[in-house]
Amino acid sequence: MANIMIRSSDKGYVFYLPKRDLEASIESIEFDTPEKWGGELKLDNGGSYYIEPQVKPARLPISLRARRLGAVED
C-alpha cells in the first residue's frame, strides 16, 4: 500500500506518489460517479493502481491509500 494524492487539473485527474516524486496523468478511473468513485486507476506511464471505491470526495486534492497493480514502473 502506498500513500498517493489525486488532484484535478484542466486535463483530468492527476496522480501523485510523494514517496517517489512521481507525477502522472490518470488515463482512466474505473468508477467516476458521485456515489461510487475509485477502483482501478490507469496511468499514462503504464502503471496502474487500485483505490477502494468510495463516495466521490467533495474536494480535491485528496490523499489516499492505494495498492499497486501489475509490475513496478520506473
Partner 1 sequence: MAALTREETEALIQEVLEVYPDKAKKDRAKHLMVNDKELESSKKCITSNRKSLPGVMTMRGCAYAGSKGVVWGPIKDMISISHGPIGCGQYARGGRRNYYVGTTGVDTFCEMNFTSDFQEKDIVFGGDKKLAKLINEIELLFPLNKGISIQSECPVGLIGDDIEAVAKKAAAQINKPVVPVRCEGFRGVSQSLGHHIANDSVRDWIISNRDGQAFEKTPYDVAILGDYNIGGDAWASRILLEEMGLRVVAQWSGDGTLAEMENTPNVKLNLLHCYRSMNYISRHMEEKYGIPWLEYNFFGPTKIAESLRKIASYFDDRIKEGAERVIEKYTPAMNEVIAKFKPRLKGKKVMLYVGGLRPRHVVGAYEDLGMEVVGTGYEFAHNDDYDRTIKDMGEATLIYDDATGHELDEFVKAMKPDLIGSGIKEKYVFHKMGFPFRQMHSWDYSGPYHGYDGFAVFAKDMDLTLNNPCWKLIQAPWTKPAVEAVQEAA
- Contacts with partner 1 by CB under 8 A lie at 5, 7, 16, 18, 21-24, 44-46, 59, 61-63, 73-74
Please check whether residue 56 is in contact with residue 33, taking contact to mean a CB–CB distance below 8 angstroms: yes
Residue 51 corresponds to which cell in the numbers above?
Answer: 483505490
Closest contact distance (angstroms) between CB of 7 and partner 1 is 7
CB count within 10 Å of CB 55 equals 11
Nearer to partner 1, 30 or 45 (CB): 45
Nearer to partner 1, 16 or 50 (CB): 16
Residue type, 55: V
Please check whether residue 60 is in contact with residue 7, taking contact to mean a CB–CB distance below 8 angstroms: yes
Nearer to partner 1, 21 or 35 (CB): 21
